[in-house]
Every structure is written in structure tokens, then in C-alpha cells.
Amino acid sequence: MKSRDDKGTNTTKKMVEEITSMREDFAQWYTDIVKKTELIDYSSVRGCMILRPYGYAIWENIQRELNKMFVASGHENVYMPMFIPESLLRKEKEHVEGFAPEVAWVTHGGDEELTEKLCVRPTSETLFCEHYANIIHSYRDLPKLYNQWCSVVRWEKTTRPFLRTLEFLWQEGHTAHADADEAQEETLRMLDTYAGFCEKVLSIPVIRGRKSDKEKFAGAKATYSVESLMHDGKALQSATSHNFGDGFARAFGIQYTDKENKLQYVHQTSWGMSTRIIGAIIMVHGDDSGLVLPPAVAPIQTVVIPVSMHKEGVLSRAESLKAELAEKYRTVIDKSDKQPGWKFSEYEMKGVPIRIEIGPRDIEKGEAVLVRRDNGEKIQIKLDEISEKTGLILNEIQSGLYKKALKLREDKTYIAADPESFKKILEETPGFVKAMWCGNPECEAAIKESTGATSRCIPFEQEELSDKCIYCGGRARKMVYWAKAY
């Protein structure tokens, strides 16, 4: 972006060059973004990240907006301990086997060896089950609609900021219901909540569907997910919703007396979204200049930059403009002694949706220059109209980012009719590949082994592309979205 004065031009060019082009090296581009926009810093513990103020502010905005949806649908926030006794974790066999490789254990308290190891929670199903067994006794106690905001620990071998870290922030909902139908309704309701949040708040289009049995959550009856596509053609699981049936209830003895005074097991659900969704925001909307943030979650929605602020009246007018905008939008003013060109590039890199420039000539004309981050458009706006028009443009940016991301996904969604075309698409033009599947887990495993792609989900909206499985040629049962994934 070119500065409005000659002094800033070289500085701007240098700043932009610090970010690797996504076409040159997408992984390095991503690393440059998270570091140079000050979202995170690396800690002294391998695989753990420090969420810096700008990165944490994005998470706070996500948390606030998502929590509104949870509260509106009748859920209550609670908090469980971070430690799980080994005996409690092992009550549900399939669940513990699924998480065993990722569990971090506490074996000592101070200088003393513990009589029973404590697991640092990788997820909190067992804690909620123990609690529900203690507090649910009658049908009058149901449903229980709980959610928790916390961190969890999973000892990953390979890590990357936001996408896969040893410790990460998330929310996990855990609910208990009187019967199977009610639990299934809750499972799909929360899946729809996540889909709506991704599309309306984060401007990220998603595919909704059911996971294969191989990909479902350990201990679940069924797992559903919302899947999004990144700029490089890889998929990212953005959120999941699980129907546990009564499996956990039987393992933990969670029973209630129904209206006929008979003992019944509850049916449970669990659902979650984590800070990896920030990685999705980066990889769906970002460009070679840095972040591009949806206004709904941007820590700064508008930045006011005074130009030639040493001249009389410029700084005071810029401050009054900032005060006016701050009544409606998350607004800051940059009064630092950096050159304007540096500031323009800095806030562009940070993905601030709107930049407002105001200098002596603008003030004379009763105007300011509004610059959109999404398309770089510069708009001369009358100062007495700027507050209203800022709101309209923020809405345009929000919807425009969604449309752009949707077009990218459509352009990178392919149909494969045979194994050769399936493999060629994944190697040469990565993206979502729609293909038929027989339902055999052996075919699913073979596809992953030969192509590196996994079944992302079995979408609710089915298409009969052919009657043959993409791998074995046997009778096809379902159309599946396949992709290489983060």
C-alpha cells in the first residue's frame, strides 16, 4: 500500500516484503502471519504458545459471540477441575483408548509420589459424567445443558500455532437428556449453532455432515462436524458435535427415575470449538499483506490515522473523530511518531477492516479518506456521514468476505469418478473432492494410505454421483467429502 507522503513509501514496501507469499510457501506465510501480526509468541515449552493481546482479543470476541448463542439456547456455564484421576478416566474403555497416546500425567505432588496418577484433562467427559451421576436423580432434573470454557492438554507430536498445540483454549458443551430423540435433537441443534456462527460471524462457509465411524469421537455413538476449506485447498474441522447415546451413562451409572417411577439411563451429548478456529480465520481470509479479519471478531474495527499531525488542528480533529466512532465501533487512533506509510502497512497487516486517514486538506474539505482492508478501495467520505457509512461498509466487508470464501470453496470442490482422477485432483489441485464410498472402513483406510486424504464428512445433502465406490468399485452407499486436512 502506497503512503500519502513520500517518506512512508519505502517503509511500507519493506514491511510487506517481510511476509512470505502464500503461493511461494503457504506454511511459512502462515507462520509469518501469526508472528508478525503479534497474535502469538512461542513459549519455552515445546508446542505451547503464548496468546498475545491481539490474538487473545480475537478469542475473546469469538467467546463473547458464541457464548451469546449458548445462553440464548438455554445453556449454563460451569467449570470442572483440570485433573482427572486415572481410575475415573478408565471407566469408559473406548474413550480412554482413544485419548491414551495424548494424555499428560501428573505423578508427583511436591516431593511425594501420588498414590494415583492424575490426568491433565484432554477433554472433560468423565468429569461431567461423575458430576451428573451425583446430581441427576429424577426426570425433573433433566435436561442438563452445561458448557465450560477452559484449556485442555493433548501431547501432540507435531505442533503448529492455533492448529495443533499441546495446550489450547476451547469450550466444551456437555448435556444430559431423558431419551435418545432429545439427545439427537441437541446434537444437531449445536451443529447448526456452530455452522451459523462460522458463516455469519466468521464469514467462513462450512459443510455440515456426519463423520465416518473411523473418524468419530472415542466413545461416541455418532459424531457430526462442520468442515471448512483453507486457501491452500486443505480442510479444517472447525467444530464437532457428538451424540453419546447412553454409553457413558451406563459406564458411570447416570440414572434417573422417570414419570412411571422406573430407572432409566440418560442420553448425552458433547460439542466443542477451540482456538484452532483462529487458524481457520487466518487461512480462509488472509492474503500476502497479512490478516484480513471479519469485522464481527476484529479487535480493532476502525483505526484513525492523522496525517501531518504536527499541523495545527489535525490531531484534535482526529481525536474527536475517534471518539465519535468509538461510540459504535471498536476504534483506536494511532498518534505515534511513526511515518504514515508505516502505520498504513501495519494496520493492513493486522487485518483491521477499515482505516480512516485524515489530514489538513481533508479537514478543509470536511472529509476523510476511508480505506477498506478487504479490497483496498479508498473512499472520500463527508465527516458528518462517516459514522453511519462506516457501519454500512463494515457490513459489506462481513458479507463480502463470506462470498469470496464461498467462491474459493466452490472453485476448489471437485467430483471424482474413478481412483485415477481422485488421486490426480488431490495431488495437482487440492481441495474438497466429492466421491462415492461403499462404507467399508478398509477402503477408507486405503484411501488415506494411498493419497493422504481423509473422509471429512458424509454431508446431509447427498448426491448420487455414481453407483460405485471410488476405491474398490463395489456398491456405493454414501457420497463423501474427502480432502487432505490440518
3-state secondary structure of 258: coil
In order of 4, 287, 312, the CA distances from 306 in angstroms are 11, 26, 12
CATH number belonging to domain 413-483 = 3.30.110.30
Please identify, in words, the CATH class of the domain defined by 26-285. Answer: alpha beta
The answer on pLDDT for 293 being more than 90 is yes
Residue 15 banded pLDDT, cuts 50, 70, 90:
low
| Global confidence as pTM | 0.94
In terms of CATH architecture, what is 302-393? 3-Layer(aba) Sandwich (3.40)
- The residue behind cell 478398509 is 442
What average pLDDT does the segment 236-244 reach?
A: 98
Q: What is the chain's mean pLDDT, rounded?
A: 95
Tens digit of each residue's pLDDT (9 = 90 or more) over 429-462: 999 999 999 999 999 999 999 999 999 999 999 9
The answer on pLDDT for 420 being more than 80 is yes
Residue-level pLDDT at 283: 98
* Percent of the chain residues topping a pLDDT of 90: 92
* Contact status, residue 347 vs residue 355, Cβ threshold 8 Å: yes
Q: Which three cell numbers stand for residue 167?
A: 495446550
Q: Which three cell numbers stand for residue 405?
A: 470464501
Starting from the edge strand earliest in sequence, which strands make up the sheet with 104-109, in order? 83-85, 112-120, 104-109
Residue-level pLDDT at 98: 77
The domain limits of the chain are 26-285, 302-393, 413-483
Starting from the edge strand earliest in sequence, which strands make up the sheet with 302-306, in order? 331-333, 302-306, 354-358, 367-372, 378-382
* Contact status, residue 373 vs residue 298, Cβ threshold 8 Å: no
Least confident of 9-18, 24-33, 146-155, 216-225: 9-18
Residue-level pLDDT at 430: 95
> How far is the C-alpha of 373 from the C-alpha of 349, rounded, in Å?
9
Q: Which three cell numbers stand for residue 137?
A: 436423580
What average pLDDT does the segment 33-62 reach?
A: 97
The answer on pLDDT for 12 being more than 50 is no
Q: Which three cell numbers stand for residue 209?
A: 455432515
Question: What one-character DSSP code corresponds to residue 121?
Answer: P
> How far is the C-alpha of 205 from the C-alpha of 400, rounded, in Å?
12
Tens digit of each residue's pLDDT (9 = 90 or more) over 88-111: 988 877 777 877 788 999 999 999
What average pLDDT does the segment 471-484 reach?
A: 97
Which one has a higher pLDDT value, 123 or 92? 123
> How far is the C-alpha of 35 from the C-alpha of 483, rounded, in Å?
27
Residue-level pLDDT at 7: 36
* Contact status, residue 480 vs residue 457, Cβ threshold 8 Å: yes
The alpha carbon torsion through 17, 21, 26, 29 (nearest 10 deg) reads 20
* Contact status, residue 344 vs residue 292, Cβ threshold 8 Å: no
Residue 191 banded pLDDT, cuts 50, 70, 90:
very high
Phi, psi of 242 (to 5 degrees): -115, 140
Tens digit of each residue's pLDDT (9 = 90 or more) over 387-415: 999 999 999 999 999 999 999 999 999 99
Residue 1 banded pLDDT, cuts 50, 70, 90:
very low
Q: Which three cell numbers stand for residue 408?
A: 474459493
HSE, side-chain direction, 13 A CA sphere, residue 247: 17
Tens digit of each residue's pLDDT (9 = 90 or more) over 347-376: 999 999 999 999 999 999 999 999 999 999
- The residue behind cell 480442510 is 235
The answer on pLDDT for 13 being more than 60 is no
3-state secondary structure of 236: strand
